[in-house]
Amino acid sequence: MTRKYNNSPIVEAVCEFQFDQSSSWDLTIPGLIYEKVQKTFPKRNQIAQINFGIAVNTEAIGHQVGTQPLMQFLQDDGNALIQVGPNLLTINQLAPYSSWQEFLPLIEQGIQAYKEAVSPQAVQRVALRYLNRLEFEHNIRLEDYLNFYPFLGKELPQEFGAFVLGVQIPCERLRDMLNLQLTSINSQTSNALSMILDIAYILSQPEKVMLDEILVWINTAHKRIEETFEACITDQLRQKIKEVKG
């Protein structure tokens, strides 16, 4: 059963699709998608997505930086949005995040609109990602609140500053990958320890999930993320973020 929290730490949930390069794309497609989602996402905005790459020739290795336009369709309050570009679709839910039962229909609406407008042939990559912001007082022991935290052996200094901790866990016979990362961030208050618990479930083998199976995959991804979050935290943290009982 899904646990609920009055002080949910989720600051953003993202579902991202990357489609095969053979999918058609022209400047009319964002408008076609907007026609299908405008009742839920009435606001429009265009941004530039920055792409970084490495260029290699016989004389030197250098960096390439390119941009491509992305169209954003936003809800009136700006807390949820769809972004579309060539071979790309993302559905973002910002805080306050209410529930999977409310986020999933937005994903379903986005993928259906994209499929009708573009008719992609295959899915290259799918990722469902949850970012959780956690804040503690400086003098706490992380192990009292988390089962996933920086560990330093007894021969090492026990006080530390900034940190990044990550692990990749293969799933479904290497078809999928669970990325788990804990990163310290600057706190909004002077006497606090802040961090982001980033949990992502990713299709790591292209075209291993068919388009008509994608919603089943997404529900499985959410279940894995939810189980991982609960495994990462202790009852003391559940009390802190105020688990809803009953």
Q: What is the pLDDT of residues 89-147, one digit of tens each?
A: 999 999 999 899 999 999 999 999 999 999 998 999 999 999 999 999 878 899 999 99
Pairing label, strands 123-136, 10-19 = antiparallel
Q: What does the mean pLDDT of the chain come to?
A: 89
Listed in sequence order, the residues at least 6 apart from 84 whose beta carbon sits closer than 8 Å to its beta carbon are 29, 30, 33, 70, 71, 73, 114
Cis check for the bond before 96: say yes or no (omega within 30 of 0): yes
Half-sphere exposure of 7 (CA within 13 A, CB side): 9
Tell me which H or E stretch contains 224. helix 214-232
pLDDT at 12 over 90: yes
pTM: 0.90
> Are the beta carbons of 38 and 73 closer than 8 angstroms?
yes
